[in-house]
Structure 1
């Protein structure tokens, strides 16, 4: 039976760096408009500390906005900032999300010997990117949190994807960037895990054994060689 490889989307298959830079600029402008008086360096220090210390749960932009507001503004400003930043977030997702460099080559190579799927915490609008790019043709299973109303690290979203794939977890591989929502739950189910470090969440360090990936790669393009090692 062919190996089954599941991918995360955000900061794994989908590059979010342009979106992150756009969001950071707009968010910092808003924060200073509300009296924060911080520069880019200090903002990034606060943002990175929140990410490193697991302050944003499932990783949504909303959670990040709230936590940064709590750190740099007086109490009570978070809802106002959220309302102001929301249109920018939607615009940025629509215009700046794109597949990572080399993503198509990686999927083409892997699809020769492997079946492919997605397990991702994303709103349903990500399906539009998959379809418009033609990348949806590579995936036999697309388990998107916005559609199934479950989010990683809930093991049920992984179990649903495995059921749709008709596979046992021990014959599957999870590729993602986060230790808490990708690596740990997949390891606990018995999947093999590959961590991609081209992500803001490279700041995370393992806190328990389940957060230790079987393999770590610097970038998406390195994944096929690791899958070859895993599958022999």
Structure 2
């Protein structure tokens, strides 16, 4: 039973959960497609998206995400050996795109205001430390910020979750994890005994559960639906 005075501790993922990456994804796709064709791929946008989505759906990328996606797409549409070259060429565009296009999702402030009035909040995210600049404006909402680029641990490694739990001063059974990916957010959190909320407004909505730990406690269409999902979990806890 959760202590009523404290309520649950709610952890959020960042990318495609609290942070909208759709503009960044459009920027990345355009630059990547241009490079692919510059190296002779001869692939149009529709077929590129089909290849990209199949790679995501079939779990051929891990927590490296963009870097692994580049290698996997290149392996499909180009002869061997081009992946590293293209990854090196597009790296400055990725860095620029993160700075220019990463932003908190529409309604994020309202969601955080609502939840922080009732619960303690934190972050567990696979992000480089440059994300801390974007977080400054929202820093007041978070008691814990466990970022892979700072912690030198990455989800789904349970140690990054355990580090966040230690910083929060909570047990896993008192916490809820909100994220978009089944493999790096939902499954590892479930395995530790946390409750989970999956946000489907993400490219990783393409993922389908493969094992029991990948079924979230609750699933929502958008970030705006998260507070109600949290309330449903808390209500079930009190029964």
In structure 2, distance between residues paired with 1:87 and 1:66 = 16
Matches within 5 A, 1:185-204: 185-204=188-207
Partner of 2:16: 11
Partner of 2:216: 213
Unaligned runs of 5+ residues in structure 2 are: 1-5
Partner of 1:153: 156
TM-score, normalization: structure 1? 0.98
Partner of 2:98: 93
- 2:170 maps to 1:129: no
Deviates more, 1:167-176 or 1:50-59: 50-59
Helix, strand or coil for the counterpart of 1:128? helix
Matches within 5 A, 1:153-192: 153-192=156-195
Q: How much is the aligned-residue C-alpha RMSD, in angstroms?
A: 0.6
In structure 1, distance between residues paired with 2:172 and 2:83 = 41
Partner of 2:79: 74
User: Deviations for 1:169-205, whole angstroms, at most 9, x for unmatched residues?
Assistant: 1010000000000000000000000000000000000
User: Deviations for 1:92-144, whole angstroms, at most 9, x for unmatched residues?
Assistant: 0000000000000000000011000000000000000001xx10110000000
| Runs of at least 4 residues off by over 3 Å | none
Q: 1:3 deviation in Å?
A: 1.4
In structure 2, distance between residues paired with 1:162 and 1:111 = 17
In structure 2, distance between residues paired with 1:66 and 1:221 = 34
Partner of 2:25: 20
In structure 1, distance between residues paired with 2:66 and 2:133 = 20
Q: 1:230 deviation in Å?
A: 1.1
Unaligned runs of 5+ residues in structure 1 are: none
Q: 1:83 deviation in Å?
A: 1.1
Q: 1:60 deviation in Å?
A: 2.3
In structure 2, distance between residues paired with 1:30 and 1:14 = 26
TM-score, normalization: structure 2? 0.95
